[in-house]
Structure 1
């Protein structure tokens, strides 16, 4: 069972996030368990079709998990974004294939499911539970909150598991910074509505206030965006009416949704996302197509001068920011800075939780 200072980040399984996890210190890895979302097959917009088959999309998954995680303790795996109809050429379910590839590398996976998943998906989850005996993660969201007990009862029966073997994720997805009090009341209400709340192996609360895009933020300055999920979780700690305090979870430096844009029309803006006590600091530049990637030097210089910069020794990411500010390395690209922002965020939240006076 996770303690109250544990952390469950939700990571979309792309190269930036994979490297961010790989470069995380072992000390920090010990204090978190990532929930990994396998992203959809990239789309070939020019030819109006998927870029590859599911076999090719997943072919290196075992090596990716081993290189990025490399720990004996399990991680959560969710195929939320894959089409339910996807099957490999040998007709295996993608979950079965990923489990097999991960097992060969010594990586243990706890499958994640929910009330909207297909019978085939849940059958694969059930088979994973029977074979691996690692339990199951159930992720509740939106419409599930109307009648949680009924939703859970049906799913437990389908999976043939008991609450003691289940990690329960309450996922509020996007939470607006302007609705802080309403968010707290809703979360307390949902958690308190769960029968036998203390029986579940773990109770995890996830949400994010990170915007889907940053088009409304000004250029060439550092703008703070409130980390509403963290502010809300801190408030929950002090809420005497909550029946069980959940483990903290978030979506790191991204929004809960998944948006894939046509690269032919995409106009990316240089930005570095940096997590601090109650905010993300967004150092935003201009269009990369028009102004190039060297903008990242100035963005990093601004961050290293900021009073809440943690210093180059804080994490792998902070060293990269420091080196970029000094022009000791190249400016990188969007993937580089997703890697850097995610690595710093993971490190920061682990440290933040470890020093938080949770009872």
Structure 2
């Protein structure tokens, strides 16, 4: 039964904290969750600070990310992607980023499964890195079909040529290699267009012999004003990706299509904290996000607005209770004036609640689907 959840998450402090607390308090939910970790690039002020501390800032950064992931996922599967780094980028020791962090994770006992990016395969350095890697036992590669591959579904001969070269070059088994259909930001796409992409990509990859297909997309906008127009108000934002996945499986109950999303972040959202950011809480509910928006942190109450926003969540029909998740407990504490929380804290709280909610939503839906199929 395809009830495993594949969230695409940045290996950043907020998401790591969310997963760590899921691991501590809800091991069953963590078992049903296989993250696709995106290793963000070290750059800007963080790189400047790292260079002052060490002569090997990039290797230190990647080692730290590996240790944080291993603390939660030692002995478990994670899928790993480094597409935010330049293709030819290497560490201070001359090793490609993907192989460096994969080797670090393997040494720490993580069953790491590298992503092969469709958009990168034609680069010689990238192909050779993939071909030279030795995966741990029970690990696998995951092919990521991004917007370029989705465009190439209109020219399937070219797409098939690249996929065939991947299979031969990396020694892949179609039967054991998951394919991620990464639709990305779908905030401006009509639901029907998202469904057509999924149907076309799923059907084509199944026709090539791939049996394990994951879809991922994000309906959360890249700025809060696109989710909630007015300051100090709230709105429900449809999670198109979840609605499409449920619709596809309802029509094709035997399909091996697995669900993934981008948590509570837009794929294109910046990690930089704007000086005039609006305080917000993104609370995941069935098929939607309940988004509560405050106003600029330069205005009244600053970051302490989170206490009023938390109270709105707690008093709403959507709140699941403090015992539902670590994130929900933090929202309750905040509503009672016991904490405020930084932007990174709120990524952690919102993400933790999101992960718990989506794992449950997937399990409930697939269980109902199986029951209907059994009666048919």
**TM-score, length of structure 1 as denominator length:** 0.90
Partner of residue 176, structure 1: 187
Which piece of structure 1 moves more, 87-96 or 222-231? 87-96
- What is the CA–CA distance in structure 2 between the aligned matches of 1:70 and 1:77, rounded to whole Å? 12
- Matching residue within 230, 233, 242 for 1:230: 242
Offset from partner CA, 1:116-151 (integer Å, 9 cap, x none): 223323333333345656221000122313224333
Aligned position for 2:16:
18
Shift of 1:266: 3.8
Structure 2 Cα separation of the partners of residues 345 and 188 of structure 1: 26
Query: How many angstroms apart in 2 are the aligned matches of 1:178 and 1:201?
Result: 27
> Does residue 196 of the first structure (1) align with residue 217 of the second (2)?
no
Q: How does 1:130-209 map to 2 (within 5 A)?
A: 132=137, 134-145=139-150, 146=153, 147=156, 148-176=159-187, 179-196=190-207, 199-200=209-210, 202-209=212-219
Following superposition of structure 1 onto structure 2, how do residues 268-307 of structure 1 map, counting pairs within 5 Å?
268-291=277-300, 292-307=302-317
Alpha-carbon shift at residue 307 of structure 1 (Å): 0.3
The number of equivalent residue pairs is 349
Pick from 215, 225, 232: which aligns with 1:220? 232
**Shift of residue 88 of structure 1?**
1.5
For 2:312 and 2:254, how far apart are their aligned partners in 1? 44
Quick one: which of 256, 260, 263 aligns to 1:252?
263
Residues 59-98 of structure 1: pairs in structure 2 closer than 5 A: 59-67=63-71, 69-98=72-101
Report SS of the residue matched to 2:224: coil
Report Cα offsets for 1:293-343 as digits up to 9, x if no partner.
110100000000010111111011101101111123x20110010000000
Name the SS of the counterpart of 2:216 in structure 1. strand
CA RMSD of aligned residues (A): 2.3
> Which blocks of at least 5 consecutive residues in structure 2 are unaligned?
52-56, 371-376
Asked whether the equivalents of residues 316 and 343 of structure 1 are also in contact (C-alpha less than 8 Å), the reply is yes
How far off is 1:203 after superposition? 1.1
SS at match of 2:145: strand
Q: Aligned equivalents of 2:193 and 2:254: distance in 1?
A: 18
Task: Give the structure 1 partner of residue 353 of structure 2.
Answer: 344
Higher normalized helix content (fraction of residues) = 2
Cα distance in 2 between the residues matched to 1:284 and 1:235: 30
Choose the corresponding residue for 2:3, options 2, 5, 8. 5
Displacement over 4 Å in runs of 4+: 48-52, 129-133
Conserved 8 A contact 2:102-2:114: no
The 10-residue stretch of structure 1 (129-138 or 154-163) with the greater mean CA deviation from structure 2: 129-138
Q: Is the 2:275–2:297 Cα contact (8 Å) retained in structure 1?
A: no
Give the CA deviation at 1:185. Answer: 2.2
> What is the rounded CA distance, in whole Å, between the counterparts of 1:163 and 1:183 in structure 2?
25
Tell me, in whole angstroms, the C-alpha distance in 2 between the residues paired with 1:114 and 1:286.
39
Matched with 2:330 is: 320
**TM-score if structure 2 supplies the norm length?**
0.86
Q: Which residue of 2 aligns with 1:113?
A: 116
SS in 2 for 1:86: coil
